[in-house]
Amino acid sequence: MTGHPRIPCAPPVPPASDASETAAGKAALRGALAARRGAIEPVQKAAWDAAIGARLLAWWRAQPVAALGVYWPLRGEADLSVAYYELARAGVRLALPVVLARDAALGFADWRPGEPMHKDAMGVAVPADLRMVATPPALLVPCLGFNAQGYRLGYGGGYYDRTLAVPPRPRTVGIAYACLAAQFPSAPHDVALDRIITERG
């Protein structure tokens, strides 16, 4: 698998207007990007997920970490479960994010692929046996969108921004589909990601 889609990705989403600097503008951009991600055909999505997973494993082999914060896919995010199993088999300690409070940084829980899960109050899957751990030294950060400066567009909750503001700052690897590249301004509280992996590179 080369990671290049047979069906070309749509062009990057441009800024809608000057209003993109406002909350309403970003909300509109989030809606457009979510619709674009939701329109990806399942077969194409599976191929892109496999390509992203392969690139993630290559990144880890080049820059190994003993522990890695991962994510449970929501709303059409890339499903990297195959790569997670490979990392776990290699001895990497995986952790899933846990929402502790609405305006707080994320906590992290030890996670082993295949163990029982349940949904928390926000509808996010977490281990049924919640074993909290320290923030891992590196995090995978799912992106609804991303720009050329390495900033991500999430769902607007600010959880990752608050998490990255707590020292020591972990290394960050954004995960996104290439067709979700967009133009949008960063806010003062935004933190640029160290790297972004897509199916194209």
Q: How confident is the model at residue 103 (pLDDT cuts 50, 70, 90)?
A: confident
Residues 185 and 21: beta-carbon distance below 8 Å: yes
Q: What is the pLDDT of residue 197?
A: 98
Q: Which residue, among 113, 111, 11, has the nearest Cα to 53 in the 3D structure?
A: 113
Angle 21-193-97 from CA coordinates, rounded to 5°:
100
- What is the average pLDDT score of the chain? 89
Choices 3.40.50.10420, 3.20.20.70, 3.40.718.10, 1.20.1080.10: CATH for 27-197 = 3.40.50.10420
pLDDT in tens, 10-66: 554 544 444 444 677 889 999 999 999 999 999 999 999 999 999 999 999 999 999
Chain centroid offset of residue 153 CA: 10
Which tokens is 134 given?
A: 């320290």
Residues 56 and 26: beta-carbon distance below 8 Å: no
Helix/strand/coil (H, E, C) string of the chain? CCCCCCCCCCCCECCCCHHHHCHHHHHHHHHHHHHHHHCCCHHHHHHHHHHHHHHHHHHHHHCCCCEEECCCCCCCCCCCHHHHHHHHHCCCEEEEEECCCCCCCCEEEEECCCCCEEECCCCCEEECCCCEECCCCEEEEECCEECCCCCEECCCCCHHHHHHCCCCCCEEEEECCHHHEECCCCCCCCCCCCEEECCCC
Q: What is the pLDDT of residue 195?
A: 97
Q: Is the pLDDT of residue 1 over 50?
A: no
Which tokens is 33 given?
A: 């990007």
Angle 162-164-166 from CA coordinates, rounded to 5°:
80
- Give the Cα separation of 107 and 125 in Å (integer): 14
Q: Which residue, among 134, 124, 125, 179, has the nearest Cα to 157 in the 3D structure?
A: 124
Among 14-28, 64-78, 151-165, the least confident range:
14-28
Among 3-17, 34-48, 65-79, 161-175, the least confident range:
3-17
Taking residues 83-104, what's their average pLDDT? 95
Q: Report the share of the chain in percent with pLDDT over 70.
A: 89
Q: Is the pLDDT of residue 117 over 60?
A: yes
Q: What is the pLDDT of residue 181?
A: 96
Q: Is the pLDDT of residue 94 over 50?
A: yes
The contacts of residue 187 (CB under 8 Å, 6+ apart) are: none
